[in-house]
């Protein structure tokens, strides 16, 4: 089956990212606060932001950075990150954003693959940044430390040095449809990270696609705790929220107390989160000590949100909880619920275990991975599961330097094969079942880890969990649960196994349990299953 988005197509401007976000401003909007750093209380208006982006672009151009150049950006969330990111794009260069948790070896690997000629970082990350820069041959003067002590003292320019040049932004002329804006790297949860080539048109298209669904406004105060270096934070916060002329209230990292303080103190209206944050909001006793009544919407993405967990957050906070789906290769949003859950357009809110509908200007297929046949669209209920394929203007141009992987991911018709198993219901709502490569095959039966994880999280003594497939003594793949106990409980492995066994089909039972202190996750909240695997399982 091929099914289209039920939302009207939107107009996608043929412009670059800077022109879309910053060319058309009223005087009122110029004086609005664009960015508020919770770390030090710094406020940056849109007027100041645009000025700093332009002079940063000029400073980069003066250092030889322009069209065809790639700049690494390694930093936690801050207003300086926003300025540097958009300064890179304004100069006509390409930003490759780097995970702030990376080691020097990881950083060097990405810089090498992306062929970056400059690295921008912060003092806290300077040791690993410096080691990586030396490894790949980036000159000292091309290692910028945004909050550092400056060129004169250290040999590394800081943000003030870049601003002080007061160099005019260069005149750039390129085709937004083909010119690379960003090179994020796929998370590597199921394989080696690959550079995802996203053009200005890809990013502009995705902002246009989500704008009517998210319905952010200049009056919104949006909490920016999701990392800007990840495509979710980059598009939804760093770009789409600024397009809406909203105020981004920036946190450099997640801390539950600071998170709750920020919502209460700044009267946050819109929160974009990942499921680990939803887990804290649903279960942590600290939440009850705060006034979170300003929140009107929480949107969860980056990993599947269990319906019970989402409902628990909605009830506890008296807030609308919605969910979306996407991936770096889709710029990233491909599916989501409107801000009201779909109530106005469809007469009912989408089920919370769905990721909503395909975004405007896209079409989908669901394909049986074993046969290659399209799964029939249901007249009622849910379709059979299959791999989700997506086609639209937000689909990447390919993987950098990896034609084989590109051909394996984007077919001749332009459909991107997501690698996710999905179902669709008769109302066009899509349900993500699991990652195709993460399915556990037990005696020929397919066992989705996400289903078992959602079930385990309903146990009152379990605060977090992850399930992977491991090999037993007979060479059979079986489900193994890694479990984080709630403090003060003495839950046993046998109790976990029995809890699941009473609630699932026999082939889905958890057959091994290991208790650990924390579930390893990426910055965007995805479970790092590869970190849980060992050579023996």
* pLDDT tens, position by position, 45-70: 999 999 999 999 999 999 999 999 99
Q: What is the pLDDT of residues 346-362, one digit of tens each?
A: 999 999 999 999 999 99
pLDDT at 188: 39
More confident residue, 415 or 100: 415
pLDDT at 97: 97
Q: Is the pLDDT of residue 187 over 60?
A: no
**Spatial CA neighbour of 167 closest among 64, 244, 68, 79:** 64
CA 223 to each of CA 259, 267, 342, 373: distance values in angstroms, whole numbers, following the listed order: 9, 10, 23, 43
> What gap in Å lies between CA 77 and CA 441, rounded to an integer?
40
SS3 258: helix
SS3 277: helix
pLDDT at 191: 54
Report the percent of the chain where pLDDT is more than 90: 82
Q: What is the pLDDT of residues 481-490, one digit of tens each?
A: 999 999 999 9
Inter-axis angle of helices 79-90 and 46-62, to 10 degrees?
Answer: 50
More confident residue, 435 or 247: 247
Average pLDDT estimate for 307-317: 94
Q: What is the pLDDT of residues 172-183, one digit of tens each?
A: 999 999 999 999
User: Tokens 């806290």 label which residue?
Assistant: 124
Average pLDDT estimate for 391-414: 95
> What gap in Å lies between CA 526 and CA 518, rounded to an integer?
13
- The enclosing H or E element of 389 equals strand 386-391
Joined tokens for residue 261: 């303080």
By the 8 A CB rule, do 28 and 242 touch?
A: no
Q: Is the pLDDT of residue 189 over 50?
A: no
Q: Is the pLDDT of residue 475 over 80?
A: no
> What gap in Å lies between CA 265 and CA 8, rounded to an integer?
38
Vertex 311 angle, CA 419 and 437, to 5°: 15
Q: Is the pLDDT of residue 504 over 70?
A: yes
pLDDT at 284: 93
Q: Is the pLDDT of residue 190 over 80?
A: no
Q: What is the pLDDT of residues 232-287, one digit of tens each?
A: 999 999 999 999 999 999 999 999 999 999 999 999 999 999 888 998 999 899 99
Q: What is the pTM of this model?
A: 0.86
pLDDT band at 43 (very low <50, low <70, confident <90, very high): very high
* Residue ranges with strand state E in 2-110: 2-4, 33-37, 43-45, 70-74, 94-98
Beta partners for residue 224, in sequence order: 250
**Spatial CA neighbour of 385 closest among 351, 428, 434:** 434
> What gap in Å lies between CA 136 and CA 113, rounded to an integer?
10
Joined tokens for residue 465: 């969990």
Average pLDDT estimate for 166-171: 96
**Spatial CA neighbour of 457 closest among 436, 435, 486, 414:** 486
> What gap in Å lies between CA 195 and CA 88, rounded to an integer?
17
pLDDT at 259: 97
Average pLDDT estimate for 211-219: 97
Q: Is the pLDDT of residue 537 over 70?
A: no
Q: Is the pLDDT of residue 331 over 50?
A: yes
SS3 255: coil
Hey, which of 176-180, 468-472, 529-533 has the most confident mean pLDDT? 176-180
> What gap in Å lies between CA 471 and CA 286, rounded to an integer?
40
Which DSSP string corresponds to 397-459? SEETT-HHHHHHHB-TTS-EEEEEEEEEBTTS-EEEEEEGGG-EEETTEEE-HHHHHHHHTTS
By the 8 A CB rule, do 215 and 338 touch?
A: yes
More confident residue, 429 or 277: 429
Average pLDDT estimate for 315-332: 95
pLDDT at 534: 61
pLDDT band at 197 (very low <50, low <70, confident <90, very high): very high
**Spatial CA neighbour of 62 closest among 142, 126, 137, 116:** 142
pLDDT at 522: 79
- The phi and psi torsions of 499 (rounded to 5 degrees) equal -60, -45
Beta partners for residue 273, in sequence order: 300
> What gap in Å lies between CA 70 and CA 224, rounded to an integer?
25
pLDDT at 35: 98
Average pLDDT estimate for 386-405: 96
Half-sphere exposure of residue 361: CA atoms within 13 angstroms, side-chain side? 21
pLDDT at 444: 65
By the 8 A CB rule, do 222 and 241 touch?
A: yes
By the 8 A CB rule, do 390 and 466 touch?
A: no
Percent of residues in the chain assigned helix, strand, coil, to nearest 5: 35, 25, 40
- Please, what is the average pLDDT of the chain? 93
Average pLDDT estimate for 179-193: 75
How many helices (DSSP H) and strands (DSSP E) are in the chain?
19, 26
pLDDT band at 364 (very low <50, low <70, confident <90, very high): very high
Joined tokens for residue 385: 């599961």
Of 118-127, 206-215, 228-237, 503-512, the least confident: 503-512
> What gap in Å lies between CA 231 and CA 183, rounded to an integer?
10
């Amino acid at each position: 089956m091929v099914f289209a988005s039920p939302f009207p197509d939107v107009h996608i401007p043929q412009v670059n990212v800077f022109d879309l976000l910053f060319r058309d401003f009223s005087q009122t909007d110029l004086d609005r606060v664009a960015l508020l750093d919770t770390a030090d209380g710094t406020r940056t208006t849109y007027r100041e932001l645009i000025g700093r982006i332009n002079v940063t672009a000029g400073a980069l151009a003066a250092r030889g950075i322009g069209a065809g150049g790639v700049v690494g950006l390694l930093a936690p969330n801050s207003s300086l990150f926003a300025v540097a990111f958009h300064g890179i794009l304004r100069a006509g260069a390409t930003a490759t954003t780097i995970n702030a948790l990376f080691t020097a070896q990881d950083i060097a690997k990405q810089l090498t693959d992306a062929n970056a000629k400059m690295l921008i970082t912060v003092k806290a990350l300077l040791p690993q940044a410096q080691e990586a820069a030396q490894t790949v041959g980036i000159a000292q003067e091309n290692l910028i430390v945004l909050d550092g002590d400056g060129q004169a003292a250290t040999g590394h320019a800081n943000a003030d040095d870049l601003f002080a040049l007061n160099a005019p932004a260069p005149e750039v002329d390129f085709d937004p449809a083909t010119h690379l804006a960003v090179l994020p790297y796929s998370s590597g949860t199921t394989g080696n990270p690959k550079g995802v080539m996203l053009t200005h048109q890809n990013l502009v298209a995705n902002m246009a696609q989500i704008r009517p669904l998210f319905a952010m406004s200049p009056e919104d105060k949006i909490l920016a705790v999701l990392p800007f270096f990840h495509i979710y934070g980059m598009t939804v916060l760093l770009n789409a929220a600024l397009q809406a002329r909203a105020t981004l209230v920036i946190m450099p990292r997640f801390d539950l107390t600071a998170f709750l303080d920020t919502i209460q103190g700044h009267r946050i209206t819109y929160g974009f989160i990942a499921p680990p944050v939803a887990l804290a909001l649903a279960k942590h006793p600290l939440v009850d000590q705060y006034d979170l009544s300003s929140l009107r919407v929480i949107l969860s993405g980056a990993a599947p949100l269990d319906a019970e967990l989402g409902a628990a957050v909605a009830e506890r906070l008296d807030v609308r909880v919605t969910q979306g789906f996407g991936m770096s290769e889709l710029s990233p949003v491909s599916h989501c619920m409107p801000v009201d859950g779909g109530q106005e357009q469809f007469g009912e809110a989408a089920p919370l275990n769905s990721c909503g509908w395909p975004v405007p200007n896209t079409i989908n297929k669901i394909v049986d991975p074993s046969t290659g046949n399209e799964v029939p669209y249901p007249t009622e209920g849910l379709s059979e599961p299959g791999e989700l394929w997506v086609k639209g203007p937000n689909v990447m141009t390919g993987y950098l330097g990896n034609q084989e992987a590109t051909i394996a991911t984007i077919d001749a018709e332009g459909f991107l094969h997501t690698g996710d198993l999905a179902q669709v219901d008769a109302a066009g709502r899509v349900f993500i079942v699991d990652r195709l490569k993460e399915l556990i095959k037990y005696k020929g039966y397919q066992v989705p880890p996400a289903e078992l994880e959602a079930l385990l999280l309903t146990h009152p003594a379990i605060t977090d969990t992850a399930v992977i497939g491991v090999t037993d003594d007979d060479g059979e793949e079986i489900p193994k649960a890694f479990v984080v106990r709630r403090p003060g409980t003495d839950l046993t492995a046998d109790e976990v196994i029995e809890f699941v066994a009473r609630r699932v089909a026999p082939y889905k039972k958890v057959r091994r349990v290991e208790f650990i202190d924390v579930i390893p996750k990426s910055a965007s909240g995805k479970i790092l299953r590869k970190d849980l695997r060992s050579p023996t399982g």
